[in-house]
Amino acid sequence: MEKTKLKAILADLTLAEKVGQLVQVTPDFFGNPGEITGPMSQWSMNNEQLYQIGSVLGTHRSDEVKKIQRDYLANSRHKIPLIFMADVIHGYETIFPIPLALAASFDAAMIEKVAAATGAEAATEGVHVTFSPMADYVKDPRWGRVLESNGEDPRLSKVLTESYVRGYQGDNLATEENHIAACVKHFIGYGSAEGGRDYNTVDISDVEMYQNYLPAFEGAIASGVKMVMTSFNSFKGIPVTANKKLIQNVLRHELGFKGVLISDWAAIGELMQHRVAENPHQASYKAFTAGIDIDMMTDCYLQELAEIILAENLTEQLDEAVLRVLNLKNDLGLFENPYRGLKTQVDKTKLRKLAYKAALRSAVLLKNEGALPLKKSEKILLIGTKGTTQDVLGAWSWIGDRQKAVSLADGLTAKFPQIVVMEIDDNQKDWQTVITAVKEADKVLLAVGETSDEAGEAASRANLELSGVEQKLVAVAAQNNPATILITFSGRPLVLTQEAAKTAAIISGWFLGSEMGSALAALLSGEENFSGHLPMSFPRSVGQLPYSYQEMSTGRPKTKDNGQEKYISRYLDEENGPLYAFGHGLSYSRFTFSDFSLSQSSLAKGEKATLRFTVGNDSQIPGFALPQVYFQDEVTEMIRPKIELLKWKQVYLEAGESKTISFVLSPKDFAYVHENLKRYSDPGEIQLFLATSATEIVDKVQLQLL
Q: Render the burial of 97-118: b for 16+ CB within 10 Å, e for the rest.
A: bbbbbbbbbbbbebbbbbbbbb
* Strands ordered across the beta sheet of 628-633: 602-603, 696-705, 684-693, 628-633, 644-648
Alpha-carbon distance of 402 to 451, in angstroms, equals: 13
Beta strands in 222-291 (DSSP E): 227-230, 234-235, 238-239, 260-262
What are residue 504's phi and psi, to 5 degrees? -90, -20
What fold is seen in the domain 591-705?
A: Immunoglobulin-like (2.60.40)
Phi, psi torsion values for 78, nearest 5 degrees: -100, 0
Report the sign of the C-alpha dihedral through residues 112, 118, 121, 122, in that order: negative
Spacing of C-alpha 344 from chain mean position: 27
435: nearest Cα among 427, 444, 426:
444
Measure the CA–CA gap between 74 and 70, rounded to whole angstroms: 6
Contact 640, 647 (CB under 8 A): no
- For the structural domain made of 3-10+21-33+45-86+179-332, what CATH number should be given? 3.20.20.300
> For residues 199 and 629, what is the distance between their CA atoms, to the nearest angstrom?
35
Are the C-beta atoms of residues 217 and 135 closer than 8 Å to each other? yes
Amino acid at 612: R
CA dist., res. 226 & res. 208, Å (int): 26
- CA 123 to each of CA 120, 184, 236, 339, 398: distance values in angstroms, whole numbers, following the listed order: 5, 18, 39, 10, 16
Expressed in percent and rounded to 5, the helix, strand and coil fractions of the chain are 35, 20, 45
Are 109 and 154 a contacting pair, CB within 8 Å?
Answer: no
User: Span 348-543: which CATH code?
Assistant: 3.40.50.1700
Residues (pLDDT < 70) of the chain are 32-37
**Residue 550: predicted pLDDT:** 97
Task: List the chain domain ranges.
Answer: 3-10+21-33+45-86+179-332, 348-543, 591-705
pLDDT at residue 126, as a whole number? 97
Give the per-residue pLDDT at 654: 98
The residue count of the chain comes to 706
- H or E, element range at 86: strand 83-86
Distance CA 141, CA 196 (A): 7
What distance lies between CA 627 and its chain's CA centroid?
23
Pick from 155, 297, 149: nearest CA to 214? 155
Distance CA 29, CA 594 (A): 64
Q: Is there a shared CATH topology between the 3-10+21-33+45-86+179-332 domain and the 348-543 domain? A: no
Question: Concatenated DSSP letters for 626-692?
Answer: --EEEEEESS-SS--BS-EEEEE--EEE-TT-EEEEEEEE-GGGG-EE-TTS-EEPPSEEEEEEEEE
What pTM was estimated for this model as a whole? 0.97
Question: What pLDDT score was predicted for residue 110?
Answer: 98
Annotation marks residue 264 as catalytic: yes
Query: What is the model's pLDDT at position 627?
Result: 98
Backbone phi and psi for residue 202, each to the nearest 5 degrees, phi listed first = -125, 140
Task: Find the catalytic residue in 87, 136, 153, 264.
Answer: 264
Query: 525-540 b/e with 16+ CB inside 10 Å = b?
Result: beebbbbbbbbbbbbb
